[in-house]
Structure 1
Amino acid sequence: MKVKIESSKIVKPSYEDGEAPAHAQRVPLSVFDKVTYGEHVALIFAFRPPNPPNSEVELGLAKALAVYREWAGRIRDGRRSVLLNDAGARFVEATVDAPMAVSMPSGPSPEVRLLHPRIDGSPVELVQVQLTRFSCGSLAVGFAGHHQIADGQATANFLAAWGLATRRLPLSPLPVCDRSTRFAPRDPPLVEFPHREVEYRAPAPNKKRDIALDDEKEEIGFGVAGHDKVKVHRMHLSKDFVAQLKARASSALPPSRRGYTTFQSVVAHLWRAITAARGLAAGVTTKVRISVNGRTRMRPPVPRDYFRNVVLWAFPRSNVGELVSRPVGHAAELIYRAVAGVDNAYFRSFVDFAAEVEAEGLIPTADSEQAVLCPDLEVDAWLGINFHGLDFGGGGPFCVVPTYYPMEGSLFLVPSTLGDGSMEAYVALFHNHLEEFKRICHRIT
């Protein structure tokens, strides 16, 4: 796929009355903004024709940025605040002299990265957008947003607003931005749960990362040879396969218990299959990092339209031998209990703990530079996030995919483009582990 960059510029907010705020305001990052990944997250949206011209999409972006001002600002003070200075977002226009059907990669590929601006090297702009036009009239929109500004739910809200603004419709509902008062620590603070080595940890000793990584590999029971390449595999989970998984996982539950959810059942199955494919020793401990949205869990609830981050993580764990030898329902129960434990009390405990993090010199465990997670996994699930709400006037995208992200042990779950209740799993593993995973991943045990 040959992508030709036609232009690259900065788009600044466009205010309805034509007048920007009188001064640049500094907005502190919340405790949830600071603990998450300090990187851009990129998504690709594919639209069939007809599509509005780039100028209308650009104008819609400018109008949306006037309401979601953080995206047009800049992170300052060592990532402790956002300066609302309306410096703007990056807007790139590109073309491909071929139809999308024959140009777009058919599976996870580094070529996907050509459809959004480069996000390595800590780009200054907090939002970067690329519109790529294909000869058939189809449009690919590459969106990259800094994670410390918004979680998945907040990003989806912004994307929907961008679509409304492009269609010249009112932006409704408006974002809720009362972060400065919403997450204040209690007086006195009450830290009821362990948060060290969960959300935060002490800085690692100053030694070369590759040496540490090699030590970790030896510790968990496999050598370095033959593990030099990570591949990303797209696994299709049909509606029937997902239904069978849920039925199998829930089969041993008592009548008084509701069956496991699609998410719990699918992650349980993939956790077991990936662990088995890695060939780890039975006594090794494996865990999964699962994002938990606090909007409905905190009391009082945080509005769905709250803009920024309200996410912590659950960490179900097991030793390898027990995980792979017991039925999928066992893994689903571990996931269910771990996620249920991240409740209002846990979120409030974290807020109280996080108030003292800087004084202790702790750093987040969410490490975007980590290349290998084995024996662990990290799950990003878009199953409950409406990224299809981005509509410029010709309907929502027919395809939404993550960028190519070859971090070993990462797992993305996205709704299938078929729209029939099936889903796609993007699994990143060492190439020799991936072959075994492909062989066993559709077995339900």
Structure 2
Amino acid sequence: MKSPFVEIISDFFIKPETITKETNKPTYLSPWDYAMMSTNYIQKGLLYTLPKNQDDFNMTTYLDDLKHSLSTTLAHFHPLAARLATHKIESPPSFVVFINPENNPGARFIHGKVNLTTDDILAPNDVPLIVKSFFDHNNAISHDGHEMSLLSVQVTELVDGIFIGCSINHMVADGSSFWHFFNTWSEVFKSKRKNGKFSSFAPISRPPHIKRWVPPRSGPILSLPFTHEDEYIERPNPALLRERIFHLSSDSLSKLKSKVNLECNTTKISTLQSLFAVVWRCITRAWGFPADQKTCCRLPINNRGRLSPPLPQTYFGNSIQGLRYTTTAGELLDHNVGWAAKMLHEGVVNHGDKSIREFVNSWVKRPFVYKMNQLFDPRSIHIGSSPRFDMYGNEFGLGKGLAVLSGYANKFDGKVTLYEGRDGGGSMDLEVCLLPENMEAFESDQEFMSIVNGEIDI
């Protein structure tokens, strides 16, 4: 009988291969970082097939290569090897939280093993619960980075495959920074396999920009004006959810975009905005709200290129903001999908330097930490991640991954996560988390399933 448990074989801490003057500087946090104090770690990873010829593959050697390449990568992404620290100020009462280079025990590296095949993971309609065991730091929130590693890698060995899962502290990185690190680690691993040796001083294609951005005249050191940590720390308490991944072809998404733009007599509404509108409508319908019930859609938006002057795309930290759209269930469902898509489009277009700075300056005047049990309310869908991130380019010597999967983190009834489609060409994978009774209604929704099945009428 197949074991449902992951057996931990080894557990190490990996330090940066080299220490520089930059490594020894504390990293102070931005308003966007502080706001993530009570969020879970970001947990994403890839499932791979083992080489068919097992004689050419040695797990011990492979793990050593992963560790060495991780050590080299950490020389560039050195905050991930440190820990958080808090300095308490007595008058006026406040807390300064920062990434402390003096506490640098390294990133955690775990090797686990489970008696399951890749088909056991991918064949069921729902993502199996065992996938959560492929990640470290389950249930942890970012504040726990004072004691826990800011990065933990877990390599889980399956019967015919390998899963490489990363958990990264959300005060230290957003989705763009998460995949920037993952992409660089894969790049360094590939370079090692080609050249036979690692070097921290070998150039990488996209060096991270480590210094955090704070608004003029407000820093560089920001603080939280509280008297006790309990005032800003809250742990999410999610219900037991069903999680399912839906595969959307590029052809189907192209038809959806055309349909939405025809309804709105425009060509400007994007594929993502069209998809978000459909998902918002269909989940709202699955919830069965009365017509006068308010419902929200929350979209994350990358601020890097929207500031003036813009931040580098390699900015390593949080630079995201949530856009919130509210209407009633009746309005959302009585209008066509183009009506909702146009609302989302206009909000994205109007989000620029002015609105970003207004948000940040407001935070500086009245700092806050997101309370997840309030942010993820039972009347909202929340979109996460992006299909624009390079996910399947991370091969680690095993070829193209079979699937991108996520862990426990930041999930609730109505959480939707977007992934790059394995088929490329604009295809996407959509991970939907709902209570069992709501998922049953959602996966039977004709409007949504017409996109999944490629049956959209224009």
Tell me, yes or no, whether TM beats 0.5: yes
| 1:434 paired to 2:448 | no
Aligned counterparts of 2:356 and 2:158: Cα–Cα separation in 1? 46
Q: Are residues 1:352 and 2:361 paired?
A: yes
8 Å CA contact retained: 2:389, 2:420 = no
* Aligned mate of 1:232, from 227, 243, 265: 243
Query: Secondary structure of 2:264's partner?
Result: coil
Deviation at 1:321, TM superposition (A): 0.5
Aligned residue for 1:424, secondary structure, equals: strand
The aligned amino acid for 2:101 is L
Query: How has the CA–CA distance of structure 1 residues 23 and 394 changed in structure 2, closer, same or farther, with 3 Å as cutoff?
Result: closer
Unaligned 5+ residue runs, structure 2? Answer: 52-56, 87-94, 193-201, 219-227, 451-455
Which residue identity is paired with 1:73?
Answer: A
Correspondence 1:162 to 2:185:
yes
* Residues 206-244 of structure 1 deviation map (CA, whole Å, 9 limit, x = unaligned): 9xx99xx9xxxxxxxxxxxxx975322323323333223
Matches of residues 4-403 of structure 1 in structure 2 within 5 Å? 4-15=7-18, 21=21, 24-36=24-36, 38-50=39-51, 53-77=62-86, 80-85=97-102, 86-102=104-120, 106=124, 107-121=126-140, 122=144, 124-136=148-160, 138-167=161-190, 168=192, 170-179=203-212, 182-185=213-216, 229-254=240-265, 257-358=266-367, 363-364=368-369, 366-369=370-373, 373-403=377-407
Q: Deviations over 1:358-390 (max 9, x none)?
A: 4xxxx23x3335596321110013211112332
335-344 or 35-44, larger mean C-alpha shift = 35-44
Contact 2:419 2:429 survives alignment (8 Å): yes
Aligned to 1:422: 427
Give yes or no for contact 1:185–1:355 (8 Å, CA) kept in 2.
no
1:68, distance to aligned residue in structure 2 (A): 0.6
Q: Cα 1:233–1:104, aligned 2, differ >3 Å: closer, same or farther? A: closer
Alpha carbons of 1:120 and 1:59: their partners in 2 closer, same or farther (altered >3 Å)?
same
What SS class does the counterpart of residue 250 from structure 1 fall into? helix
Partners of 1:128 and 1:143 in 2: how far apart? 6
Query: 1:105: how far off?
Result: 6.3
User: CA distance change for structure 1 residues 252 and 171 in 2, over 3 Å: closer, same or farther?
Assistant: same
Q: What secondary structure sits across from 2:317 in the alignment? A: coil
Q: Using the alignment, how far apart are the partners of 1:311 and 1:318 within structure 2? A: 23
Q: Structure 1 residues 388, 238: closer, same or farther in 2, change over 3 A?
A: closer
CA shift, 1:116, in A, is 1.5
| Superposition deviation, residue 127 in structure 1 | 0.4
Is the 8 Å Cα contact of residues 71 and 126 (structure 1) preserved in structure 2?
A: yes
Task: Give the counterpart letter for 2:205 in structure 1.
Answer: S
CA distance in 1 between partners of 2:166 and 2:23 (Å): 28
Instruction: Percent identity, please.
Output: 24
Partner of 1:223: none
Show structure 1 runs of 5+ residues with no match: 188-202, 214-226
On the 8 A contact 2:82/2:99 being kept in 1, the answer is yes
Please tell me whether the aligned partners of residues 134 and 165 of structure 2 are also in contact (alpha carbons under 8 angstroms): yes
- Structure 1 residues 282-291 or 401-410, which shifts more? 401-410
Contact 2:139 2:408 in 1 (8 A): no
Q: 1:306 to 1:396 in 2, by over 3 A?
A: farther
Query: TM-score, normalised on structure 1?
Result: 0.82
TM-score after normalising by structure 2: 0.79
